[in-house]
Chains A and B, each alone.
Chain A
Amino acid sequence: MTDTATRATRAVTPPGDRRRRLNGGGPRAGTVIAFVTPFFLPFLLFYLVPVGYALWQSFRVVRRSGGQYGTSYTTFGGFEQYGQVFQNTEFWSSIGRIALFGIVQVPVMLFVALTMALLLDTPLLKLKAFFRITAFMPYAVPGVIAAIMWSYLYSPQLSPIVDLLGDIGLKPDFLGPGAILWSTANISTWLWTGYNMLIMFSALQSIPQELYEAAKLDGASNWAIAWRIKVPIIAPSIVLTTVFSIIGTLQLYAEPAVLRQISSNISSTFTPNMLAYAVASGNNYQQAAAISVVIAVITFVLSFGFMRLTSKKAGL
């Protein structure tokens, strides 16, 4: 499949097509519109318009005419909303929290995923299908339900893990102020390791075996083949999973929101997205729009920055 897909992307414009079109063949404009519109119209209405609307809103402010009891009206406010975002200490602490989360969780998760993918690709392992399926299974579980499951495993009253650790004299507090961020990170890791592993594993499977033959004849160990040959080849997949993970981290909402139901150590502004929602719930939509725009811009900058950085390093 991978092979055919690659071939397909390369052959986007077969030369024959162009000739036929010059001869006047091919579908009429009406046909093209009929095929494209069923997707494009909802895409325009529910993707492009909201993006534009959020941008527009973020430049509006609410003012009052005639003192405290006067009528309120919205007007153009320039970068006023953005100024407020950047002066908001809750915004910065949510960003700091999520940065710490991302710097630790994303590398740990991807390292585990890569190790698993490499092991599944060696002859060392048996029961490969079993390991692959168990790792991928959490992907079928929505974030909310995963967080509910883990919150029971964290709760001091119900958790068998807390009981077990208690038997050996430990008193873990998974919901305490120091641990809660990492308890949240664990839920993300549980959910997404298998998915990332499968992306990397699919890439590994598409490497032709002949590439290893020479290295094997030279007596290279499985270890050397894995780190010196396989990892560099699947680097694009590793970059891709990193970018996906960065995007996911910045959007974190459901998992901390569920843990908030059982722990007072998660505030209503724990992550940037929770902050945006809290601000919107207070009817300050312009401010919420500005926060959403800032989150989206940070996401873009980080994903593109990371892609640029890695492609430069690889000498591309």
Chain B
Amino acid sequence: MSNPSTIRESRVSRTAVMALMFLLAIYFLLPIYFLIVAATKPQGELASTNGLAFSHFNLFDNLRVLFTRSDGVFGRWVFNTVIYAVLGAAVGTLISALCGYALAKFQFRGREFLFSVILGGVLVPTTALALPLFLLFSATGIVNTYLAVFLPSIVSPFGVYLARIFANAAVPQELIESARLDGAGEFRTFFSVAFKMMTPALVTIFLFQFVAIWNNFFLPMVMLQKESLFPITLGLYEWNGQTARAPLLQESVITGSLVSIVPVIIVFILLQRFWRTGLAAGSLR
């Protein structure tokens, strides 16, 4: 089996595989590298210098311009994004956890039916919801407020699905029983016993929902006209549309894009193992 020809062959294939993977890595990194380079350049050098080489380092100036432009509206967008995505995902995770835990640990009539209805929600395309929601919200006057984006964002059927799986896997029935015997109410049992055991799972649910809200462009675009309520994505989109008339905006769009994705990428890399848990569970569907 291990004659010289197969060894040579495996060395060749090893090199080929590494080369292929490096090419793909370059493909995935290129736009982000370009963005980093472009964000450090003054506007005037964007078109005149090589896009992949650093030139005059102007990042701090670009940041100052970005955060002071239009009365500091970019800072406002960062704040809004935190409210929509971080707070929304936190609230969403909590309600998904409560519901998933109940579906996993309580026996009640209609449980499987309820679960099927929620699971069906996973398949509803969220963009199909945005337009009817807009009409319903305009009738109730919620359109063009924080709530118009925040409220629909907290609902994640996939989160309930994950919470149910994780509650089943991580919280032993005996522990719940003994907490009950000690006289703890169901909510106390949930928050003092189950919540701790489900924490890694809850981080996973939080991350998935955070990304879903962070990515959701259609909903805020449909709901919001007031610039001061925009999330970063919608704000940068609007600026990007104005660069033809105001070319100086280009540098702020680039710097703003970098500022908004870098923290998220870092958090992603740090929390990698939670992703893999969630993806593994999701693929069992």
By the criterion CB–CB under 8 Å, are B136 and A50 in contact? yes
Q: Does B199 contact A (CB under 8 A)?
A: no
A137 & B129 in contact (Cβ 8 Å cutoff): no
A190 to B31, CA, bound (A): 10
Interface-central residue, A5, A48, A139, A200, by most chain B CB under 10 Å: A5
CB atoms of B284 and A146 under 8 A apart? no
Interfacial residues, chain A to chain B (CB-CB below 8 A): 1-2, 4-9, 11-12, 14, 16-18, 20-21, 26-27, 29, 31-32, 34-36, 38-40, 42-43, 45-51, 53-54, 57, 112, 115-116, 119, 122, 124-127, 130-131, 133-146, 148-153, 157-160, 163, 190, 193-195, 198-200, 202-203, 205-206, 219, 236-237, 240, 247, 250-251, 253-254, 257-258, 261, 273, 276-277, 280, 285, 288-289, 292-293, 295-296, 299-300, 303
Given A1-B277, A139-B211, A153-B34: A247 and B129 interface contact (C-beta under 8 Å)? no
Question: Is there contact, CB below 8 Å, between A32 and B155?
Answer: no
| Shortest Cβ gap from A1 to chain B (Å) | 5
Tell me if A130 and B25 are in contact (CB < 8 A): yes
The residues of B with any CB-CB pair to A shorter than 8 Å are 1, 10, 13-14, 17-18, 20-21, 24-25, 27-32, 34-35, 38, 46-47, 50-52, 94-96, 98-99, 101-104, 106-108, 114, 117-118, 121, 123-129, 131-136, 151-152, 154-155, 157, 160, 165-166, 168-170, 173, 186-187, 190, 211, 214-215, 217-218, 222, 233-234, 236-237, 240-241, 243-244, 253-254, 257, 260-261, 264-265, 267-269, 272, 275-277, 279-285
Which residues of chain B are near A127, meaning CB under 8 Å? 21
User: Among A57, A146, A203, A293, which residue has its beta carbon within 8 angstroms of that of B135?
Assistant: A57
Interchain CB contact under 8 A, A292 and B34: no
Which of B155, B264, B267 has the largest count of A CB atoms less than 10 A from its CB? B155
* Contacts known (A126-B18, A144-B217); A116 close to B268, Cβ less than 8 A: no
